[in-house]
Amino acid sequence: MNNLTVLVIDDERNLVRSIRFALMDQNIEVLGAGTAREGFELAKSELPDMILLDLGLPDLSGLELLPQLRQALPDIPVIMISAHGDTRAAVKAVKEGALDYITKPFEWEELVMLIRRSSEHTHMVRELNFHRQRYKHTHRLVGNSPQMEQLCQTLELIGRSSGKTVLISGPSGTGKALVARSLHDVRFIDAPFIEINCAALPEQLIEAELFGAERGAYTGAIQHRSGLIALADGGTLFLDEVGELPLPLQAKLLSFLENRSYRPIGGNREIQADVVVMAATNRDLKAEVGQGNFRSDLYYRLNILPINAPSLAERADDIPLLIHHFSQHFASQEGCEPPIWNTEILQLLRRYAWPGNVRELRNLVERITILHPGQEISCDFLPNEYLEAADMMPSTPAYTKALEEKERQLILDALQETGGQKGLAAERLGISRHALKRRIQRLGL
């Protein structure tokens, strides 16, 4: 937490002086402003890492200055300073764009912790915005197969509806998070999309992450903590791997879905939240219900608007389009030419089973693009598992008998012209020697 600059907008000069002294040994520079006008101009000229804004100022209130700061400097977090009786106004400020609030008189350790947390939050938001801008073209579904056309139609219908609970099912790697994001984009123009992986956090932390916690609610809760439901208010909460939720939390999630209200840990009142809840799972939740691992009432509550993300094997016709899409993406990222995928390779990859689905295909294309930029891809460039598995699979309907006979004749002609020399025949056909050998074996030549 080095080299941070904090702007304190507060007319109590002694408080500003005390904050500057308290943060001196934390390598934090403190700027002070006594009025809203002075603070606004200083914020624009100095671009601090964060702003501490008092609710009561001589010319404008903190609530009046806050929207001006958010509009002019949206990337700079604002923490409200409130007196003991202004807590309600501070909470309102948080709803209107402030990151958090702190109540006078406050402990210096609490202030340092809040600044540290705000700094980390800002860093994460800026990094996320950077990646969203860089990869924004990937936030769309790629494919024109019947399965994908049906999926897109379903997303349009659900996105235009008033339904607020969606369950996205499908094997791992099919892009369920992308489906959720696409559905969110159909419904909202500018609203939060908050994601949590239910399998990535320990049970004791998931509840606080979802519902938030009041100060002192548990050991280490030194200040109020807003949960992800609060952050998603007005937008979408995406629960990835919802099948991993512990049973006690399943009951609390069910209660929220039924009433769209919740109580933070240690809180004494219910809070309403207007949130679209999308849940995703690679498990068979109905089977999990039968085994006692998932609540039946929660399953039926989530399954109001079901969406299935098809496996890549189910939409093999999309593989060439996906390969082109990922090739262009990674080539742009690496600053190189995309590899050239010939018809032979595309046909082979369409016949592969893809147990890792789109994620596996994406990883393969990334590897090929980095290792063989701008080159024509032959079978020699592919890992053995793709070659062996593809050769063992039955032909796809697109691989017709007429095409097989034409291929047989081309190979026989090439062998005859080269006197049976397979290396020369492979060169004449524009394929590798290994590829020619596999074809000869498959065609029984």
Q: Which of the listed residues 257, 278, 308 is the one where a domain comes to its end?
A: 308
> pLDDT, tens digit, for every residue of 28-75?
889 999 999 999 999 999 989 899 999 989 999 999 999 999 999 988
Residue 441 identity: Q
**270 and 346 co-located in one domain:** no
> pLDDT, tens digit, for every residue of 294-316?
999 999 999 999 999 999 999 99
**200 and 173 co-located in one domain:** yes
Q: Would you state the pLDDT for residue 404?
A: 66
Q: Which of the listed residues 132, 165, 184 is the one where a domain comes to its end?
A: 132
**For range 237-263, the mean pLDDT:** 93
Query: Which residues constitute the domain of residue 421?
Result: 400-445
Nearest to 394 by CA among 382, 404, 384: 404
CA distances in angstroms from 376 to 264, 347, 422, listed in the order given:
57, 15, 21
Q: Where are the alpha helices (DSSP H) in 169-246?
A: 176-187, 203-211, 228-231
Q: Would you state the pLDDT for residue 392?
A: 47
Distance between CA atoms of 425 and 222, rounded to whole angstroms?
Answer: 75
Q: How many CB atoms lie within 10 A of CB 264?
A: 23
Q: Would you state the pLDDT for residue 362?
A: 95
Residue 116 identity: R
Contacts of 95 (CB under 8 A, 6+ apart): 233
Q: Residue 145 falls within a domain, yes or no?
A: no
**168 and 217 co-located in one domain:** yes
**226 and 355 co-located in one domain:** no
Residue 176 identity: K
Q: Which residue has the tokens 């050998």?
A: 437
Contacts of 145 (CB under 8 A, 6+ apart): 315, 316, 317, 318
Q: At 324, list the tokens.
A: 């082109």
Q: Residue 137 falls within a domain, yes or no?
A: no
Q: Residue 138 falls within a domain, yes or no?
A: no
> pLDDT, tens digit, for every residue of 370-429?
999 888 887 778 888 787 655 544 444 444 455 567 777 888 888 888 888 887 887 777
Q: Residue 139 falls within a domain, yes or no?
A: no
Angle CA(178)–CA(284)–CA(235) in degrees, nearest 5?
Answer: 35
Contacts of 413 (CB under 8 A, 6+ apart): none
**340 and 376 co-located in one domain:** yes
Question: Do 231 and 194 touch, CB atoms closer than 8 A?
Answer: yes
The number of angstroms, rounded, from the C-alpha of 44 to the middle of its chain's C-alpha atoms is: 31
Which has more pLDDT, 351 or 401? 351
Q: Residue 419 falls within a domain, yes or no?
A: yes
Q: Would you state the pLDDT for residue 411?
A: 84
Q: Which residue has the tokens 């600044």?
A: 115
Q: At 340, list the tokens.
A: 């050239």
**For range 349-374, the mean pLDDT:** 92
**161 and 276 co-located in one domain:** yes
> pLDDT, tens digit, for every residue of 144-177?
889 998 998 899 899 989 999 999 999 999 999 9
**165 and 303 co-located in one domain:** yes
Q: Would you state the pLDDT for residue 147?
A: 93
Q: What's the CATH code of the domain at 428?
A: 1.10.10
Q: Residue 144 falls within a domain, yes or no?
A: no
Q: Residue 267 falls within a domain, yes or no?
A: yes
**8 and 110 co-located in one domain:** yes
**For range 222-240, the mean pLDDT:** 87
Q: What's the CATH code of the domain at 10?
A: 3.40.50.2300
Q: What's the CATH code of the domain at 168?
A: 3.40.50.300
The number of domains in the chain is: 4
Model confidence at 252, pLDDT cuts 50, 70, 90, reads: very high
Instruction: Give the chain's length.
Output: 445
Q: Count CA atoms within 13 Å of residue 383 on its CB side.
A: 11
Q: At 436, list the tokens.
A: 């020619």
> pLDDT, tens digit, for every residue of 14-26?
989 999 888 887 8
Omega cis (within 30) before 105: yes
Based on the number of CB atoms within 10 Å of its own CB, is 226 exposed (0-12), middle (13-18) or buried (19 or more)? Answer: middle
**180 and 236 co-located in one domain:** yes
Q: Which residues pair with 272 in a beta bridge?
A: 261
Q: Would you state the pLDDT for residue 132?
A: 46
**424 and 381 co-located in one domain:** no
Q: Exposure pattern of 391-410 as b/e (b: 16+ CB <10 Å)?
A: eeeeeeeeeeeeeeeebbee
Q: Would you state the pLDDT for residue 219?
A: 59
Q: E strands, 286-331, where?
A: 305-308
Q: Which residues pair with 193 in a beta bridge?
A: 236
**386 and 426 co-located in one domain:** no
> pLDDT, tens digit, for every residue of 64-119?
999 999 999 988 989 999 876 677 888 888 888 888 888 888 888 888 888 877 77
Radius of gyration of the chain (CA): 29
> pLDDT, tens digit, for every residue of 176-228?
999 999 999 888 888 999 999 998 888 778 888 898 887 766 656 556 678 89
Q: E strands, 65-151, where?
A: 78-82, 100-103
**54 and 119 co-located in one domain:** yes
Q: Residue 90 falls within a domain, yes or no?
A: yes
Q: Which of the listed residues 308, 332, 363 is the one where a domain comes to its end?
A: 308
Q: Is the pLDDT of residue 438 over 60?
A: yes
> pLDDT, tens digit, for every residue of 275-291?
999 999 999 999 999 99
First-to-final CA distance of the chain: 70
pTM over the 0.75 mark: no
